[in-house]
Amino acid sequence: MRITVVGGGIAGLTCALSLHAAGFRPQVREAARTIEAVGVGINLLPHAVRELTELGLADELAAIAMPPHRLSYRDRAGEPVWEEALGLAAGYRWPQYSVHRGCLHLMLLAAVRSRLGSDCIRTGQLFQRFEQTPHGVRAHFLDRTGGTPVAEDTDLLIASDGIDSAVRAQLYPAEGPAHGNGVHMWRGVAPYPHLLDGRSIVVAGGTPGAKFVAYPIEDGVAQGGDALMNWVLEVRRGTHVAPLDRSNRRITTAEALTGVRDWSLPWVDLAKLVERSSAIFEYPMLDRDPLPRWSFGRVTLLGDAAHPMFPMGMNGGSQSIVDARVLAWCLAREHDPETALRRYDTMRRPTVNAIVLANRELGPEKIIARAAEHGGALPVDEATKTASAYKELTRATVAQVNSRPSWTVRTGPRTRPRILHGEDAPAGVPT
C-alpha cells in the first residue's frame, strides 16, 4: 500500500516509524528545504514515552532527554501551591521526559532514515492540494528547489502538517485562522544551575498571561557545568489585537528584562536567565475548534493538523505520538483502508477533542489559577481531584498507561502484519 505522510515534524516522523513497524513503507513529504534542530523544550508524558519505547527508541531518547521527577506549582512569590510526582516516581512503568524539541526531531529523523532509507523523505515539497480518485489520492506539491509542480499518486494521504495544515484547510475551507487567547509566550533556553531539586518542572504565577515556567532539558551539572534550562514567560496582549502576529518575532534582551522586572522568585535569578539566553522568541498561544470529522475517504488528519491545543497539561506532542501508533494499528487491523481511517477517527477524535476543550478551561493548571484567585493553596483533596480528572480525561492515569495492551503490531518475516485480536487488543477497542 502506498502511503504519503504530509509533514516531517515530530508527528509525521513518528507516524512513518509506526507505519513501518506495522509492515508498511510510507513516504514523507516535508515543506522545509532542510530539517534542522530548532525550537525549545517539550515534555513527553509516560503514555508517549511508552509508544516511543515500543518503537525501539528507549536508549536514544534517554541519551538526549531528562526525566523530571516532580511537578511543582508555585504562587507569584515562588511559594509552593501544589506538587505531584511524575513519571517513574509516580508509579508509571515509563518515565516522563523533558527534551529539546530539535534534538527529539533529529533523533526521529535518524531513526526514519535508518529504518526506511533516506529516500523515503523528500524535503522542499510544499503541499498544494489533493483530489481523490477511484483508485486512491493524487497529491500535488510544489518543489521549492526548482519551483516546479509535482503530482504524486498514493493510496492514503496522512496530513501531519501542523496547526496551519493545508490539507485541513482543503477539507474545511471556511474554518479560517487559528484562535488566540491573547497570551503570548516568550520562550528561551539558557545554561543555568538547576532549580530546586534539579528534577522539577516549575510553574509559577496563576492564570494564563501571568505565569513563568522552567525545567531542565539537559543535565550539564553531571559534567561539572550548568543545566540547559528551558523557560517560558507568559505575557498578555489582549484578544482583539489585529492582525495576530504569527512571525515568532525575536524578543530583545532589553524587552525580556522589562518583562521579568515585576517578578521576584527566590529560587531563580530571572534577569540572569534572560541574559544567558542565546535567543528569545515570542509565540502566540493558539488552538483551533474541535472538528466533527478527521477522515474523508482515503485522507485523514493527525497531530496538530487534527487537534492543535493550548499548552496546558503538556499533552499536545504526546497525543500526536499516540495518534500515530493508533493509526498504524488500525491500518494493520483492517483490510479496507477507508474503514481503517474511519476507525482511527472514531477511536482518537472524541478523546482529543475533549482535551482541546479542557485545555481552554486551563486543564490541570486550573489548580494554580484558582489558588491565585483565592490567595492561597487549594485543599489537597480538591487539587488532587482536579489533576486526577484531567489524567482520566486524557487516558493517562498510572493504571491506564501501565495496564493497557500494546498498540504494537507483530509481524513475521514472510507474513502480512499480525494484528491483535480479542483479548490481545487494547482495552476499550472493538474487535
Per-residue pLDDT, 429: 47
pLDDT tens sequence across 410-423: 865 433 444 443 33
Is a pLDDT exceeding 60 seen at residue 430?
Answer: no
Domain boundary among 269, 287, 305: 287
Query: Looking at the domain assignment, is residue 416 inside a domain?
Result: yes
- Let me know whether 279 and 320 are in one domain: no
pLDDT tens sequence across 236-275: 976 555 567 777 899 999 999 999 999 999 999 999 999 9
Query: Looking at the domain assignment, is residue 430 inside a domain?
Result: no
CATH label of the domain that carries residue 160: 3.50.50.60
- Let me know whether 206 and 190 are in one domain: yes
Query: Looking at the domain assignment, is residue 58 inside a domain?
Result: yes
Q: How far apart are CA 93 and CA 97, in angstroms?
A: 13
C-alpha distances in angstroms, 18 versus 21, 36, 322, 398?
5, 22, 10, 23
- Let me know whether 142 and 220 are in one domain: no
Total domain count, the chain? 2
Query: Looking at the domain assignment, is residue 429 inside a domain?
Result: no
Query: Looking at the domain assignment, is residue 56 inside a domain?
Result: yes
Provide the domain limits for residue 224.
Answer: 180-287
Is a pLDDT exceeding 80 seen at residue 396?
Answer: yes
Per-residue pLDDT, 241: 52
DSSP 269: -
pTM: 0.92
Instruction: Give the bridge partners for 84, in sequence order.
Output: 71
Per-residue pLDDT, 225: 79
pLDDT tens sequence across 145-174: 999 999 999 999 999 999 999 999 999 999
- Would you place residue 177 in the very low, low, confident or very high pLDDT band (cuts 50, 70, 90)? very high
Residues with Cβ < 8 Å from 197, sequence gap 6 or more?
69, 70
Mean pLDDT over the full length of the chain: 92
Query: Looking at the domain assignment, is residue 327 inside a domain?
Result: yes
- Let me know whether 68 and 213 are in one domain: no
- Let me know whether 43 and 97 are in one domain: yes
pLDDT tens sequence across 282-300: 999 999 999 999 999 999 9
- Let me know whether 129 and 153 are in one domain: yes
Is a pLDDT exceeding 50 seen at residue 391?
Answer: yes
Q: How far apart are CA 355 and CA 307, in angstroms?
A: 9
- Let me know whether 334 and 417 are in one domain: yes
- Let me know whether 144 and 171 are in one domain: yes
Domain boundary among 287, 308, 333: 287
- Work out the percent of the chain whose per-residue pLDDT is above 90: 84
- Let me know whether 278 and 350 are in one domain: no
Sheet containing 125-133: which strands, arranged edge to edge? 125-133, 136-143, 148-154
Per-residue pLDDT, 238: 64
DSSP 317: H
Strands 200-205, 211-218: pairing is: antiparallel
Domain boundary among 287, 307, 328: 287
CATH label of the domain that carries residue 283: 3.30.9.30
Q: How far apart are CA 101 and CA 196, in angstroms?
A: 23
pLDDT tens sequence across 182-226: 999 999 999 999 899 999 999 999 888 999 999 999 987 666 679
- Let me know whether 294 and 349 are in one domain: yes
- Let me know whether 276 and 299 are in one domain: no
- Let me know whether 192 and 333 are in one domain: no
C-alpha distances in angstroms, 299 versus 48, 83, 127, 294, 402?
24, 42, 14, 8, 32
- Would you place residue 38 in the very low, low, confident or very high pLDDT band (cuts 50, 70, 90)? confident
